[in-house]
Amino acid sequence: MYIFYPIFATGTAVVAVTLIQSGILLIEFVDFDNTPYAQISFAFFVGFGFNRFLNKLNAVSKNIFQTNQQQTTNTKKEEKQPESL
């Protein structure tokens, strides 16, 4: 498993920079003339801690693509309770 860590880290860093360049992750960098220092630095840190970055992406995707099941069960419970005077 440890043999594949550099491959996973490189792939995760590329995905992170792609998400930033596409505008999905809202991080703005100062543009230098043909030198992406900030993107390279960010990619290094993401690659260094790629497990934590993937955990954060997983949590964000769970919140974004959350189903309405939980919301409908909560509203059904509220509808069944009689009003108290």
CB-count burial class (<10 Å; 0-12, 13-18, 19+) for 7: exposed
Q: How far is CA 18 from the centre of its chain?
A: 12
Q: For position 78, what pLDDT does the model report?
A: 60
Q: For position 61, what pLDDT does the model report?
A: 86
Is 59 within the bounds of a domain?
A: yes
Residues of the domain holding 38:
5-68
Q: For position 84, what pLDDT does the model report?
A: 57
Q: What are the helix (H) ranges across 1-85?
A: 5-22, 37-48, 50-64, 69-80
pLDDT at 31 over 60: yes
Per the structure, the count of domains in the chain is 1
Q: Work out the number of other CB atoms within 10 angstroms of the CB of residue 28.
A: 8
Pairwise pLDDT comparison (84 vs 53), residue with the higher score: 53
Q: Is the pTM of this model over 0.75?
A: no
* 27-42: average pLDDT: 74
- Residue percentage of the chain with pLDDT more than 70: 69
Is 62 within the bounds of a domain?
A: yes
